[in-house]
Structure 1
Amino acid sequence: MWKIKAQLQEQQANAQSGPLKVPEGFKQVEKGKPMYYNDKRQVYWSGEDGKTYVYDAVMERYSLLYDGKAFDIRIAVGSCFHEKAFQARHVLVKDLAKAAQAMRMSVEHLDRPCALYALYEGHRGKPGSGAANVCAEFCVKQLHQKLLPKLSAFRGFWEDTRLEVAMRESFEELDAEFIDKHPGATDGCCATVALVTGARVVIATLGDVAAVVCMRNGEAEEFAKPHVVPGVDDDDDDEEDDLPNGGPADAGNPPPIQWTRSLGDAEFKKSDSSPRLLSTPDVKVLHLEPKHLGIAFVCRALYNAIGKSTAARLILKEGASVKERVI
């Protein structure tokens, strides 16, 4: 009898709750299927669980709509350039969501803070020619226009791997467009870019710029190593595999450039060029923890001169005054 009674109670509860009510603005995608679509919001609603989904075209499946979370992280940003560094440029986008809105896009599904920081180290530019480095100037204005459409296209949760792929593709597309639009340009640039989303920092490095993660205890970690020709720096003996055309640098006949990856440098992107450069960056994701204090982007020549310990001390000095994470 108790079993029959329990079944009756369950049936009554189901009858009272009834089927899930379809939210206003949603239309059934296919007759007999519990999936509904809102064209204005461009989201799906499931009649099975009452949750909202987006379609993931990359994975070819439905993913839960993700609402970006706000993390209790504040960021202080600073920069310092030598007066002769006429080809160096930097980008500080402290609110990437506002930048996206200006382009009529939305990245509200990304965790906050949401920001973008970049250092471009130009080379082979001509001083006094208006734009000191055409490639660096182009990248400053165009990288976010490659990255933001990718970030706005998927409103589910962005896993680390997906963020890494978006950054790599943005670099490669940026390089291809620059070479296409500036076929006669000989200059190029190296870069390190940080995309901050919540408690994660996606760091992409290409060429001659190092990224150093500084800890609150004063220690420093070389998070991203510059891509340089083997033999150029004494401590770069392990970089031989990074050289696209293979082999160490010839001390008697040094290479025309000292890095193995860059944006621009069109003459070294051809299949028969020597050396042959790549435009694909190394990308890593740093998950911020209380032990982390800041990140320093340092051009290789300066980095070799001051070392990671000095970079860490500079960050510590800045961090002591603002008491927040520093990039």
Structure 2
Amino acid sequence: MTDKLRAGVAGAGVFGGYHANKYLEVDGADLVGIFDADPQRAAKAAAERGVTPYAAFDDFLAAVDILTVATPATTHSALVEQALSAGRHVLVEKPIALDLAAADGLITLAERNELILQVGHQERYVADAFGLFERGIPNRVRSRRLNNYSGRAMDVSIVFDLMIHDLDLLAILTGTHEARIVNIEAKAVHGTLADFVRVDLQLAGGLEAELSASRLEQRPVRDLFLDYGEGSVLLDFLTRTFENTTDQPLGIDLSAATLPLAYRDPLRFGTEAFVAAVTTGQEPTVGGRAGRRALALAVEIERAANEIVRGGRP
């Protein structure tokens, strides 16, 4: 192996482009190729970055040491399995897979082959930068992740596309992947998969959570409210503002001239963490088991949402 890892990105869509650009910025890795099942898309994305396009996944794997899988979620488990079987370290965008059996298989394969498997839950880096994981378990959490319709990620429901970020946060705060669904609403407009889900959960330690995710809204909303009893924290990620009525200060000051990379550019932060994990052999910041915990919560909510969308009861 050369001094720098040969990096590649599977997926020449918008988010694949973001990942490719991060490899151009980080130390320790050189972007060498981009794979896409559509040869024209692969060629365009590769030409823009001066690297080699690949339309055959086997040829792509032979050219790289590490790769990011940023293809549609329905293809994640198959591509990651093939890459791990070929001895490649993988950063896979969330979700790690769409069912727990597939996720377990990928985790076992990575561990058996002593390979790094990292999952792209980038938004947890932002929460960590705010110090949210050091404050103890709140009494109540409310998260709203409401977007306009864009036509992207329509191979999965809004649960696997957006809500899974907040399920990852809940799994960290409570240390569990188990929750009781108290109430759930769901609606599908663009097909049979839920485009809107609002769910009330009860987790370990008595934490109550209200999560909303949508791709049907006219006005985007992305905020997070945590009630600790003696005070609360409200983060608005779109306006980059916050309110903190607790006695404990947040981990970062948004008025500071220099903000931590985890907040400014969580995608680059995650890419750097992945490269560092491969280089040192240490556990990745968000490993396969962490991705599975968020997935376990998502699978239960998805099941309940599907029953509503199909006219039944959860």
Q: Which has the larger radius of gyration?
A: 1
Normalising by structure 2, we get a TM-score of 0.26
Which of the two has greater helix per residue? 2
Structure with greater contact order relative to length (CA < 8 Å, sep ≥ 6):
2
